[in-house]
Amino acid sequence: MSRHYAVFGHPVAHSLSPRIHAAFGRQTSIPIDYRAIDVEPGQFTHALMDFVASGGAGANVTLPLKQAAFTLCDDLTERARRAGAVNTLVRNGDTWHGDNTDGVGLVRDLTERHALDLRARRTLLIGAGGAARGVAPALLDAGIGDLFIVNRTPERTDQLADALAEPDRVHPRYLGDLQALGEFDLILNATSAARDGSHVPAMPRAIVGRRCAAVDLNYGEAAIPFLAWARAAGCHDVVDGLGMLVEQAAESFARWHGVRPETDAVYAMLNSNHDALVTAD
């Protein structure tokens, strides 16, 4: 039976992952069978079973399924365990091995492609769902300073802060606290607000420090509202999630095929069509 790969999400028709993995396959001369599978959260387990029955060997997982994927794995990498969310599944016999490549993808994009020094940056993370969980541990490992987390649902903020288990560096706060939190050197939007049709939380300009970098984990149209605010607020650097998407995909590809592809050419190809991009994985 041939080996199949896929990205699961809801919605997922927008996903660039099939294009990215096809490009990686051409680059490495590895035949790739990779497609997008739209599945609602309640049907995810059954969809994975059908995928395995048809020869599924590995998968990416995007919103809103990353935490559900975590619960379905019998074995997890340390970074997935810390995140409490999985974006990369590897079939291991009769079980799933779970990894999370989001964080390493983000850090690699910011430090290598955009030449940002993350060390000691006072950081604000907006959101506490699967995307935020995926990147928070890697940001801490990259040496950021204090990490403040805000989210519309305070309980999820507290849960993420507890999971990170670094009370001296990680501080859960409420959205209403933003005005009083002072300036930040790094602000990340890890919400799916623009994609869901809701609004990115209102943020005061007072939180923007002199060397502040603003990063949206979304790309394309879904990143426009936050990045527009960041430019208007005077952020020194403004970065969307396209590079992170390519880098996390390369890490997943390496897990499945044993070789890590080069990413710059693929990023350049996608970036040249930036206006046609829709949203984030």
Pick out the residues of the known binding site for NADP(+): 78, 127-131, 151-156, 217, 241
Query: How far does Cα 197 stand from its chain's mean position?
Result: 19
Question: Tokens 């992170």 map to which residue?
Answer: 244
Q: Select which of 14, 66, 91, 257 is catalytic.
A: 66
Contact (CB, 8 A) for 36 and 13 = yes
Instruction: Give yes or no for residue 154 having a pLDDT over 50.
Output: yes
Backbone angles phi, psi at 195, to 5 degrees: -70, -35
With the C-alpha atoms ordered 127, 87, 120, 209, is the resulting torsion angle positive or negative? negative
Pick out the residues of the known binding site: 15-17, 62, 78, 87, 102, 127-131, 151-156, 217, 219, 241, 248
Q: pTM above 0.85?
A: yes
- Catalytic (active site) residue 66: yes
User: What does the alpha-carbon distance between residue 70 and residue 187 come to, in Å, rounded to a whole number?
Assistant: 26
Residue 22: pLDDT band by 50, 70, 90 thresholds? very high
Contact (CB, 8 A) for 112 and 122 = no
User: What does the alpha-carbon distance between residue 22 and residue 6 come to, in Å, rounded to a whole number?
Assistant: 11
User: What does the alpha-carbon distance between residue 194 and residue 213 come to, in Å, rounded to a whole number?
Assistant: 20
Of 57 and 281, more confident: 57
Name the token pair of 28.
Answer: 């490495």
Instruction: Give yes or no for residue 277 having a pLDDT over 70.
Output: no
Region 51-68 average pLDDT: 95
**Nearest residue to 267 via CA among 126, 151, 108, 68:** 108
Q: Which domains does the chain have, with CATH numbers?
A: 4-101+248-276 (3.40.50.10860), 103-242 (3.40.50.720)
pLDDT > 70: percent of the chain: 94
Q: What is the mean pLDDT of the chain?
A: 93
Region 236-246 average pLDDT: 97
Region 65-90 average pLDDT: 95
Give residues with Cβ within 8 angstroms of 68, minimum separation 6: 41, 44, 61
Pick out the residues of the known binding site for shikimate: 15-17, 62, 87, 102, 219, 248
Q: What is the largest CA-CA distance in the chain?
A: 59
Please, how many CA atoms are within 13 Å of residue 224, restricted to the half-sphere of its CB?
12
Name the token pair of 1.
Answer: 């039976």
**Distances in whole angstroms, Cα of residue 16 to Cα of each of 32, 117, 247, 281:** 15, 28, 13, 8
